[in-house]
Amino acid sequence: MTIKRDHIEKLGKQLHALDGALAKLGETEDLKRLILNIKKPGWTTPAEFAFAVGIAESLHAQVNVVAQLKGVLAKAGELVELNPQPLPP
């Protein structure tokens, strides 16, 4: 199968979108504000606390998986041998 120029452009756009999403994910001001709020007396009930802890643990696990997948994509991309053949239009 031959890779066409529009395939490369599509992948490039997807990688740019991924880069933007990961950059936005790295913005943590909202979590810093939450950390300040949870220290205030009466912040939550035991049930709400359980939900918050569960969500935080799940998010942490998912972010770790995303980081692992990002590493796999980047490393595997570097292993691909360059093909000096020109792309068809």
Residues 30 and 11 occupy one common structural domain = yes
Residues 36 and 60 occupy one common structural domain = no
pLDDT of residue 4: 83
- Residue 10's domain comprises 1-41
Per-residue pLDDT of 6-40, as tens digits, reads 899 999 999 999 999 999 999 999 999 999 999 99
Could you write out the DSSP letters of every residue in 7-41?
HHHHHHHHHHHHHHHHHHHT--HHHHHHHHHHTST
- Which amino acid does the sequence have at 50? A
**pLDDT-derived band of residue 42, with 50, 70 and 90 as boundaries?**
very high
Residues 52 and 74 occupy one common structural domain = yes
Residues 51 and 31 occupy one common structural domain = no
**pLDDT-derived band of residue 85, with 50, 70 and 90 as boundaries?**
low
